[in-house]
Amino acid sequence: MDVQQLRIERRALAEFLPRAIAEFQRPPTGAEDRLRGFASPAYREPSTTPLSVVENHGLRWYLPPHSDDDKFAGRMARGWLPVKEIAQSRVYERGGVMLDIGANVGTNCIPRIMLGDFKAAYCAEPEPQNYAALRETVKANSLEGLVLPDRLAISDHDGEAGFLVKANGMARHRLAGQSTSEATVKVPVRRLDTWIEELGIDPADVTFVKSDCQGFDGKVLAGAERLLGLRRASWQIEYAPRLMAKAGTSHDWMCDFLSKHFTHFINTGGHTDFGLHPIDALREQLAYLVVSGSFTELVLLNR
């Protein structure tokens, strides 16, 4: 896919998404059974979080408390959804089950479900107020049993961990690094393989994993050896060497790890070439991010 093809795909999706949402109908079977079996205590806990509401693409979105200069909340209020990001990945993977790690308020998984791309999306969001907003958005738009949010972080171990809640950005919260001196709250943590097992998801049903964890995406991958071993699911991850270093993961480690589990990648943050590249080219092609301190999005596949 080149720039022109991406523009065509993105434009088509932007035009189709509102119609897909307006015409969306719950599937006649499956959702109620998944909801009854959804083993998330947080999903059924009462919430006292004061939430605000915005209308976006014909959907009712709940947002957590945020400052007036919160860029993410401002974009949501103006009608933004990650259409470009969705267009880049849905070309390669649809059907089955989606996992949304670091789901925030559901701006990726909810459109994918309403587009009919997946039969269900299981979401992990550890920040309590973001989670409350995601859960209420799911309920307000009749997506229960289709979008199933759980309140926890995904990493490379099971237990608890410190979590940094950023006051100036609802999309900037993250797990705490090993040497942080900032104040944290405790959140439950599971390896991805453990979480899948606890929720009763058949790993063979998982076809797409979206991970946006503020530099901890390598930890997410490290806890997913069983799922990765199936070599079935495509992944879309944020790749940010500067944030990865804070999480204790290096560019070299990520390149070595990814080369063991995928055959190809797409640098969706590139400016000219969105085509498939062999995974062995990853180290050299993304070296510029180490120097610049910037980030990109990768789609990782086996072909």
More confident residue, 109 or 16: 109
Please say whether the beta carbons of 301 and 263 come within 8 A.
yes
Structure-derived torsion over alpha carbons of residues 145, 151, 155, 157, reported in degrees to the nearest 10: -100
Q: What angle (nearest 5°) sits at the alpha carbon of residue 24, between those of residues 22 and 29?
A: 165
Checking if the pLDDT of 68 tops 70, the result is yes
Whole-number percent of the chain with pLDDT over 70 = 90
Residue 96 sits at φ, ψ, to 5 deg, of 75, -145
Checking if the pLDDT of 175 tops 80, the result is no
More confident residue, 286 or 7: 286
Please say whether the beta carbons of 156 and 113 come within 8 A.
no
Q: Residue 171: what pLDDT?
A: 47
C-alpha to C-alpha distance for 216 and 238, rounded to whole angstroms: 9
Checking if the pLDDT of 128 tops 50, the result is yes
> What are the structural domain ranges in the chain?
3-301
Q: Residue 180: what pLDDT?
A: 52
Across the range 198-223, mean pLDDT stands at 96
For the chain, what is the mean pLDDT?
89
Place of tokens 């590249």: 277
pLDDT tens track for 40-66: 999 999 888 899 999 999 999 999 988
Structure pTM? 0.92
CATH number for region 3-301:
3.40.50.150
